[in-house]
Structure 1
Amino acid sequence: MAARDKVDDTHEPTAAAARGAFEAHEVEMADKQAHTPLPEQVDIAVIGGGAVGLAAAIALSRQGWDVALVGPPAGRRDGRTVALMEGSLRILDDLGVWSALAPIASPLATLTIIDDTGGLFRAPPVSFHAGELGLDAFGQNIEVASLTEALSDAADRRPGLTRVDALATRVSLGADGGEVTLATGGTLRASLLVGAEGRESLVRDAAGIDARRWSYPQTALTAILAHDRPHHDASTEFHTRQGPFTLVPMQENRSSLVWLVEPARAEQLAALDDEDFAAVVERQAQSMLGRMRVDGPRGAVPMSGLSVSRFTGERCAVIGEAAHVFPPIGAQGLNLGFRDVAALAKATGPVGSDPGAAARLASFDRARRLDVATRTAAVDALNRSLLAGFLPVDMARGLGLMALLAIGPLRRFAMRQGLGLNA
């Protein structure tokens, strides 16, 4: 990953310049779409304009398929960031997107876990270093909006990919393909429908795919903060009794925050002004980064989970949050969605026959079951173990961290799994 990390920052775009260029591009592409007729039939229709849907549409069109991407562009900047691990960076490289993102991303060279539960049994801090795997960094942290903008730009310029800037209101599936009804009144048919429209997926519901849902007594607070001390490209995750408190490095002396707390406390913290909120975060971080101040939007998201019984149905597949949702622990969510994209592109194969054939969909379903199930179970178990407050559970979690600290091969195996390199 060394080549990706060595970026000439003398020409680094400012956030304002990047936003201005993107807005100008959006005007250009909106004019182009206004003069582009809606196709009646395509090989594959991807529903959902988020990062996973965009990546899927690009990847499938690169295979030679005639693809339509249905859904309005993602919304405004909200300050959320995503830690893209090495496996995802390789996928974005393959899609030709990473070069536009590298100048504004921040490397994650070290990952540290600190037990801050206050329990009777606490493991010492455990640090994972990318150099142990021969990498300069485990991945890169970037604002979700910047990632989506780069993917949207690539999708707009991709031959064989049609953007349909409209909401899907209805999906129907049959033996010969699927049909999407649009809010604008038109319809679109495809041999394969890909649901990437999030947890309320029309494709998943039309296919009758069972979805198990659950909730956690937690709300995730998000923010971007500036601080006096350098982070040295280290991400730190404090395990507290209410959930993880994580600071992920950004460019210069800035970090993004994901803090899981009880809903009542989340309301109290969200009501604080920026100065008081930053002071609370500084104390929670044990002042490891010095004085803090809010340097971007703040957000609050209730925590929940979702898993599906299968990833495919007749003439359809579901990916991203249409297939799996869990708390933002260990940077697994969006990275898992990108692996869905890679597996789907591999299963459908290059153009030549039927992209929605049962054998191809069965191959995709097999490819995703184990990876998604193990990640979902691991994140759920870790999160619930922090909330339990039960000594045997604390001991099991602490002994696991101590084993990772003491046993090099086990630690390196865990790191490779976290990066998605063995998925």
Structure 2
Amino acid sequence: MDHYDIAIIGAGLAGALAAIALSRDGRSVALIAPPAPSDRRTTALMDEAIGFLGKLDLGNEVAALGAPLATLRIIDGTDRLLRAPVVTFRAAEIGLEAFGYNLPNAPLLEVLNARFADSPSISRIDARLESLEEHPAACTLTLTEGRAVTASLVIGADGRRSLVREARGIETRTWSYPQTAVVLNFAHERSHENVSTEFHTQQGPFTQVPLPGHRSSLVWVMTPAQAAEMVTRDAAALSLAVEQRMQSMLGKVTVDSEPQAFPLSGMAATRFGKGRIILVGEAAHAFPPIGAQGLNLSLRDVMALVSMLADAPSIAADIGDRYDRRRRADILSRTVSVDLLNRSLLTGFLPVQMVRTGGLQALSSAGALRSLVMQEGLRPGSAIRSVLGGLREKIGRHSA
């Protein structure tokens, strides 16, 4: 029976990135899953994630696939009495050329899969997990066709219906929204100038994100009935609807991909690790495609694990429990913030609208606050550290 230091179940973006990152210190890694299905969506990877990919010698190759996000703009597209001003976040305000890059998922996964051939520590196993047993010294994984392997650490990167999570008896909390996201790509007449524009509507966000050239990706959140009708429109009618919702900011629009509809829901595991088992990506947390949090949060899962294993001579039996404690605050805070933002757009409760409008007004007018918010969005905890550092500096000057 073959033994590996780490077995990763799931070969999507989170699993593939975990395999590359965790194999670099010489540990043997088995990436176990059938090939991932084609994914026509795109993902915005923020500066922290791009920096991490740079450490894996993937940064330039990955960035070349996408378009930089130099400016993020929020427009209140509601017809409510209280409407917020336009808020514009510029990467240059915090010393960056771009907040990150918007990347097509399928070419990104191709780049990662090509890297496996250059990584002798990674074994690619085209099989499904049948059962998982945890023992004091290792885990035994039974795969399809009767094959079995053992591993000192098992990582579940196998999505919302995670077999790893189920086998370990970890429960989940799930919730749904009265919304569906329509996802597509489109060409446009004018240059996007590396600006991403998000309209906040009463049904949810309408988010245009740049792609290379005169093209953009779109996540349009609306009611399920509206989405069902929208995806049945012919290309001309769908293109016109996108152009009108964008107020013709990018000129004539031509939808050039098949629209896909995804009902919006959320999920969080009650634990993110236990014993020799760890959950990353959508096996641990999943929420609506709002605020570019999904894969960025998944990469922080991987970054945390890489850090934990960096100086460890062996994989301890309680690594899952320590990982759970380390990741809990970040995952839960991001899950709550995305949920609150989305629900604030749906509510007709006037006090909530006032708070949301007031917050956006403050961001629009206060550059220092806007900078803190941008820093926190890119690197969780950095804004708090910045404020505390400033306070310590002031105290030091007064006491000198």
- Report the TM-score when normalising by structure 1: 0.87
Within-5 A mapping of 1:124-273? 124-273=85-234
What residue identity is the alignment partner of 1:170? S
**What is the distance in 2 between the residues matched to 1:57 and 1:195?**
12
- Identify which of 402, 405, 411 aligns with 2:364: 405
Which residue is 2:33 aligned to?
Answer: 71
Question: C-alpha offsets along residues 304-334 of structure 1, whole Å, 9 cap, x if unaligned?
Answer: 1001222111211000000110111110111
Query: What is the Cα deviation at residue 229 of structure 1?
Result: 1.1
Which residue is 1:325 aligned to?
Answer: 286
Query: What is the Cα deviation at residue 298 of structure 1?
Result: 2.0
Which residue is 1:60 aligned to?
Answer: 22
**What is the distance in 2 between the residues matched to 1:77 and 1:302?**
16
Question: C-alpha offsets along residues 169-227 of structure 1, whole Å, 9 cap, x if unaligned?
Answer: 22222322222221232111111100000011111112222210111111111111001
Q: Contact 1:61–1:67 (CA<8 Å) still a contact in 2?
A: yes
Task: Tell me the number of residue pairs that the alignment of Structure 1 and Structure 2 aligns.
Answer: 382
- Identify which of 74, 77, 83 aligns with 2:44: 83
1:50 equivalent in alignment to 2:17: no
What residue identity is the alignment partner of 2:15? G
Query: What is the Cα deviation at residue 303 of structure 1?
Result: 0.8
In structure 2, relative to structure 1, the CA distance for the partners of 1:94 and 1:206 (3 Å cut) is same
What residue identity is the alignment partner of 2:5? D
Which residue is 1:303 aligned to?
Answer: 264
Q: Contact 2:330–2:380 (CA<8 Å) still a contact in 1?
A: no
Within-5 A mapping of 1:277-296? 277-296=238-257
Q: Contact 1:348–1:356 (CA<8 Å) still a contact in 2?
A: no
Question: C-alpha offsets along residues 100-121 of structure 1, whole Å, 9 cap, x if unaligned?
Answer: 2222210000000111121111
Which residue is 1:121 aligned to?
Answer: 82
Query: What is the Cα deviation at residue 156 of structure 1?
Result: 3.0
Query: What is the Cα deviation at residue 63 of structure 1?
Result: 2.2
Which residue is 1:357 aligned to?
Answer: 317
**What is the distance in 1 between the residues matched to 2:63 and 2:258?**
22
**What is the distance in 2 between the residues matched to 1:256 and 1:99?**
21
SS at match of 1:62: coil
- Identify which of 380, 385, 388 aligns with 2:344: 385
In structure 2, relative to structure 1, the CA distance for the partners of 1:340 and 1:152 (3 Å cut) is same
Q: Contact 2:275–2:321 (CA<8 Å) still a contact in 1?
A: no
**What is the distance in 1 between the residues matched to 2:197 and 2:128?**
39
Question: C-alpha offsets along residues 265-294 of structure 1, whole Å, 9 cap, x if unaligned?
Answer: 100001101111010111111111111001
Identity of aligned residues (%): 48
SS at match of 1:137: coil
**What is the distance in 2 between the residues matched to 1:356 and 1:197?**
23
Which residue is 1:415 aligned to?
Answer: 374
**What is the distance in 1 between the residues matched to 2:84 and 2:153?**
49
Gaps of 5+ in 1: 1-38
What residue identity is the alignment partner of 2:363? L
**What is the distance in 1 between the residues matched to 2:262 and 2:230?**
13
Which residue is 2:59 aligned to?
Answer: 98
- Report the TM-score when normalising by structure 2: 0.92
SS at match of 2:229: helix
**What is the distance in 1 between the residues matched to 2:316 and 2:33?**
21
Q: Contact 2:2–2:149 (CA<8 Å) still a contact in 1?
A: yes
SS at match of 2:213: coil
**What is the distance in 1 between the residues matched to 2:380 and 2:48?**
6
1:347 equivalent in alignment to 2:347: no
Query: What is the Cα deviation at residue 148 of structure 1?
Result: 1.1
**What is the distance in 2 between the residues matched to 1:413 and 1:209?**
36
Gaps of 5+ in 2: 383-400
Question: C-alpha offsets along residues 39-66 of structure 1, whole Å, 9 cap, x if unaligned?
Answer: 6211110100001101111111112211
Question: C-alpha offsets along residues 5-30 of structure 1, whole Å, 9 cap, x if unaligned?
Answer: xxxxxxxxxxxxxxxxxxxxxxxxxx
What residue identity is the alignment partner of 1:334? L
Query: What is the Cα deviation at residue 77 of structure 1?
Result: 4.3
Query: What is the Cα deviation at residue 350 of structure 1?
Result: 4.4
**What is the distance in 2 between the residues matched to 1:406 and 1:141?**
27
Q: Contact 2:137–2:317 (CA<8 Å) still a contact in 1?
A: no
SS at match of 1:271: coil
**What is the distance in 2 between the residues matched to 1:272 and 1:184?**
44
Query: What is the Cα deviation at residue 165 of structure 1?
Result: 1.3
* RMSD, aligned CA: 1.4
Query: What is the Cα deviation at residue 421 of structure 1?
Result: 5.6
**What is the distance in 2 between the residues matched to 1:410 and 1:366?**
30
**What is the distance in 2 between the residues matched to 1:219 and 1:178?**
39
SS at match of 1:327: coil
